[in-house]
Structure 1
Amino acid sequence: MSVSVIILAAGAGSRMRSACPKVLHQICGKAMLAYSIEEALKISDDVHIVLFFQAAQIQQYITDTFSQHSAHITLHYQNHSKYPGTGGALMDNKDNGDNKDNGGDIQGTMKGDIGDNKEEKSPFAMRYDKVLILNGDMPLITKEALQPLLKSQSPIALGVFELENPTGYGRVIIQEGQITQIIEEKDAQEAIKAIKTINAGVYALDQAILATYLPKLSCHNAQNEYYLTELIALAARDKISIEPIALNPKNFMGVNTQSELASVQDMMLDTLRKKAMDQGVVMHLPHTIYLEAQVCFEGACEIEMGVAIKGKSHIIDSHIKAHTIIEDSTIKDSHIGPLAHIRPKCAITKSHIGNFVEVKASHLDGVKAGHLSYLGDCEISEGSNVGAGVITCNYDGKTKHKTIIGKNVFIGSDTQLVAPLNIASNVLIASGTTMTKDAKEGDLVLSRVRQENKSAGFWHFFKKDIAKDS
């Protein structure tokens, strides 16, 4: 079915109590707006996103994240001073330079300029006659969950669901199987507030409906805003069929507060963990494991309690032990942790990385680093052993430098490798060494001050105080 999609993302999100735009708050490592855009692009090649509050910041995020879809996304700027509210978001968006709350001027869109719409049949010059309206703060939405709306043949189809506690939602009035009105809670009397059928905030309707009824919206309500929901009442009075479509509330939970953000993330985590376990991943105490949306598992993987795996990490045939953090890295045929920290840009293969080991931007192949080490900006080849307390000194205060370590290198405990450094294969580095020069194959590297034991030095230092006290 050919359909245009509008995503409303213009709100201030004041209840989030945050300087970050509401729709850019992250859920499992991804801005919640991204989830709506991704599902919209699965449905349509004509996606319109309406911005206002902190618009420049949101536009930059969309441009950076969805550059490969630029031909299919058009950004619009709500004329908030003239047309506030959800209905106002779809109204005339020209001559809007007097708005000051958008966080900066928008310089253009991914496709054309804001307000540069020439067709008269709708404000946005949408490509298709059918329009799906979504919200940018519904990250659990999916293409599959939207199918009942898209299959409706009615001129207007509205998503609804029932909640035991409908506080905060618009109530839907249904008579003889048709919706006659939606009443926002701030405008509702007590009898209306008792209704448990609520507006899910998603619509599928003919583009001609928008063109006809948007100009008829008024702002005579408690918020002094143009409600998109008023369009429903206007169309009902004209006997236009408005079909209620029962939806799963789980997929259409909106996010307006930090507590709702946390609740929705918990639901997203349940989905991600179940997907991984369905692929055969073993999880110990799965409710304690944090995964981000782009994490990928392959083969036989085991994840212990308290693990966090972030970014575009790829875990292949590996065991990640308790309370380990992995960020934007590839782990293959390895044991990591417990209590290890694998920072971004690591590729670790056939290695054992133990407790309190931190690795950053490094390639390790067949390496053992059992405990208490920092390995940054390095390459270490198979058979090499990293002792406790070993660190690569990769930063000189201005620039990061690399350490290259060959095969079968034994690095003794408490060694400092001052980069840039090249260590050939089959090298032995003694404990306590501070290494500043390259080593060739077969070398023993030793850098220590000679130990001296001064006879009776203890008693000389303490002047026999201990002996007197005893």
Structure 2
Amino acid sequence: MTDPVPLAIVTLAAGKGTRMKSDLHKVLHPIAGRPMIEHLLAAAAELAPQRSVVIAGHGREQLEAQLGDRADIAVQDPQLGTGHAVQQAEAALAGFAGDVLILYGDVPFVSAATMRAMIERLHGADEPAVVVLGFEPADTLSYGRVIAEGDRIVKMVEHKDATEAERACRLCNSGLMAVRSADLFGLLARVGNDNAQGEYYLVDVVNVANAVGRTCAVVVTADPHEVEGINSRAELAVAEHRWQNRRRRAAMDDGATLIAPEAVWFAWDTQLGRDVLVEPNVFFGPGVVVADAVTIRANSHIEGARLASGVEVGPFARLRPGAVLEEGAKIGNFVEVKKAVMGKGAKANHLSYIGDAEVGAGANLGAGTITCNYDGYFKHKTVIGERAFIGSNSALVAPVRIGADAIVGAGSTVTRDVLDGELRIVRGEQLVKPGWADRFHDAMKKKKAAEKGKA
């Protein structure tokens, strides 16, 4: 066995993305709650690259903030084409000896398997200088063409520079390439800009290699959708739609029931267990983990939450980041939970806000219960003991602790701790005046009749 060849990833993200009409960098627009470039880099990470270089231009600061130290940022200024863009990675890859995989930040769904196939072909017996990822779309549009005999590339040509015969070829260039670092920058140095755009095309490294007698090869993806670029809001929506459809099918294949799959929206990292039931119009934001046998009823919004087995949520519930529902807990209609733990079997069935709280096993929070967690400057915690009962329309002003088996009477505003087993009622004394209402009604009826008489 030989040691694996080191790998570097070069991702092109220097375009202005003008068709997006956005202040946000194009490759940072999210799909399933995750910036598109992060989808791409996550797939590339499965190949364990030693280096990662992102070519930036407009919006460099945004890319630096998003990626941190996970990638070197190289700047392309001025922007003179894709070949010129890749040349900007030369300094960052100084001293690197290995393979280089060239990707595009706005082509986010290239699979790790496809990337791996490109690298494996680069190390084929004929030792190609360049491996190009090709695809055969339903409509070839204005894609560059790959003219090949078998998998050996004879010529690469941009659509605008192609002859009619070349445009009849259905094998198109995705722009993705695999090249040895020892070859890459030497080939790029020989690329000219004598073309319709006056730019240095990356694809011309193939023609340069062919001209000196080197072999170049094409790997063809079986799924043309994985190399579709995203350049506008409409294309972003199409990509989201395709991603969601794949995720919905995967959820059902893994044992979840989606009553109306088209009305369930997943985040990139949503985890669902077996025998989970999801009703229509449920939205999962990032960071949700759902165990087996959970029921999520219609029109619920869940983000950053963990749901243990047997939990029931909704309808019309909202779980915000930090919500933890332990086994058998129940969150009902119009209940919001944020940064709070609902213990085993605990319930909040109606019209409540539970924030910055710890609710013990078996506790029951009546309709309209509010944990008043914010004083205008700081957040404070509410702790509710096991089997405690909180009456309807109660306000628990944090920081406050309600003991185990305690009862808080309906309509109470609790500002001090309640001991275990204690009853706490905090409301004005009920005033009773027998006959007062009858006398009031009689007086008002007479007054109204007198007013009518004057008219």
Alignment of 1:27-66 (within 5 A): 27-43=31-47, 44-63=49-68
1:457, distance to aligned residue in structure 2 (A)? 2.6
Residue in structure 1 matched with residue 144 of structure 2 by the alignment? 170
Alignment of 1:288-327 (within 5 A): 288-317=263-292, 318-327=294-303
**Following the alignment from structure 2 to structure 1, what is the Cα–Cα distance between the partners of residues 450 and 207?**
96
Range moving further from structure 2, 224-233 or 258-267: 224-233
CA contact (8 A) 1:41 1:47 kept: no
CA contact (8 A) 2:151 2:219 kept: no
1:230, distance to aligned residue in structure 2 (A)? 2.3
Alignment of 1:95-114 (within 5 A): none
DSSP-derived class of the 1:140 partner = coil
What do residues 417-466 of structure 1 show as CA deviations (whole Å, max 9, x unaligned)?
Answer: 12111111222222222222221123222222324553333454576438
Alignment of 1:284 with 2:284, yes or no, is no
Residue 119 of structure 2, aligned match among 134, 150, 163: 150
Alignment of 1:266 with 2:274, yes or no, is no
**Following the alignment from structure 2 to structure 1, what is the Cα–Cα distance between the partners of residues 273 and 216?**
47
Residue in structure 1 matched with residue 318 of structure 2 by the alignment? 341
What do residues 94-144 of structure 1 show as CA deviations (whole Å, max 9, x unaligned)?
Answer: xxxxxxxxxxxxxxxxxxxxx755xxxxxx226334322111222211111
Amino acid at match of 1:348: L
What do residues 3-38 of structure 1 show as CA deviations (whole Å, max 9, x unaligned)?
Answer: 332222222222111111111111112111112212
DSSP-derived class of the 1:277 partner = helix
Residue 369 of structure 1, aligned match among 327, 330, 348: 348
Residue in structure 2 matched with residue 16 of structure 1 by the alignment? 20
Distance 1:239 1:407, change over 3 A: same
Residue in structure 1 matched with residue 448 of structure 2 by the alignment? 465
**Following the alignment from structure 1 to structure 2, what is the Cα–Cα distance between the partners of residues 467 and 271?**
74
Amino acid at match of 1:130: D
Residue 252 of structure 1, aligned match among 215, 223, 227: 227
1:387, distance to aligned residue in structure 2 (A)? 1.4
Alignment of 1:90 with 2:64, yes or no, is no
Tell me the matched-pair count.
434
Alignment of 1:178-257 (within 5 A): 178-187=152-161, 193-247=167-221, 248-257=223-232
Residue in structure 2 matched with residue 356 of structure 1 by the alignment? 334
Q: Which runs of 5+ in 2 are unaligned?
A: none
What do residues 266-299 of structure 1 show as CA deviations (whole Å, max 9, x unaligned)?
Answer: 2222332333323222222122211112222334
Amino acid at match of 1:76: I
Distance 1:358 1:348, change over 3 A: same
Residue in structure 2 matched with residue 418 of structure 1 by the alignment? 397
1:192, distance to aligned residue in structure 2 (A)? 5.2
Residue 304 of structure 2, aligned match among 313, 328, 352: 328
DSSP-derived class of the 2:55 partner = strand
Distance 1:221 1:383, change over 3 A: same
Post-superposition, which runs of at least 4 consecutive aligned residues in structure 1 deviate over 6 A? 466-469
DSSP-derived class of the 1:49 partner = strand
Range moving further from structure 2, 322-331 or 450-459: 450-459
Amino acid at match of 1:77: A
Give the RMSD, CA atoms, in angstroms.
Answer: 2.6
Distance 1:126 1:295, change over 3 A: farther
**Following the alignment from structure 1 to structure 2, what is the Cα–Cα distance between the partners of residues 92 and 27?**
28
Distance 1:116 1:138, change over 3 A: closer
DSSP-derived class of the 1:361 partner = strand
Range moving further from structure 2, 152-161 or 338-347: 152-161
Q: Which runs of 5+ in 1 are unaligned?
A: 94-114, 118-123
Residue in structure 2 matched with residue 106 of structure 1 by the alignment? none
**Identity between Structure 1 and Structure 2 (%):** 32
TM (normalized to structure 1)? 0.85
CA contact (8 A) 1:300 1:316 kept: no
Alignment of 1:372-411 (within 5 A): 372-411=351-390
CA contact (8 A) 2:64 2:73 kept: no
DSSP-derived class of the 1:59 partner = helix
Amino acid at match of 1:89: A
1:45, distance to aligned residue in structure 2 (A)? 2.5
1:206, distance to aligned residue in structure 2 (A)? 2.9
1:186, distance to aligned residue in structure 2 (A)? 4.6
What do residues 136-158 of structure 1 show as CA deviations (whole Å, max 9, x unaligned)?
Answer: 22221111122332222222221
Distance 1:172 1:459, change over 3 A: farther
Alignment of 1:80 with 2:58, yes or no, is no
Residue in structure 2 matched with residue 109 of structure 1 by the alignment? none
**Following the alignment from structure 2 to structure 1, what is the Cα–Cα distance between the partners of residues 67 and 150?**
43
Distance 1:378 1:177, change over 3 A: closer
1:381, distance to aligned residue in structure 2 (A)? 0.8
Residue in structure 2 matched with residue 427 of structure 1 by the alignment? 406
Distance 1:461 1:8, change over 3 A: farther
DSSP-derived class of the 2:392 partner = coil
**Following the alignment from structure 1 to structure 2, what is the Cα–Cα distance between the partners of residues 267 and 466?**
70
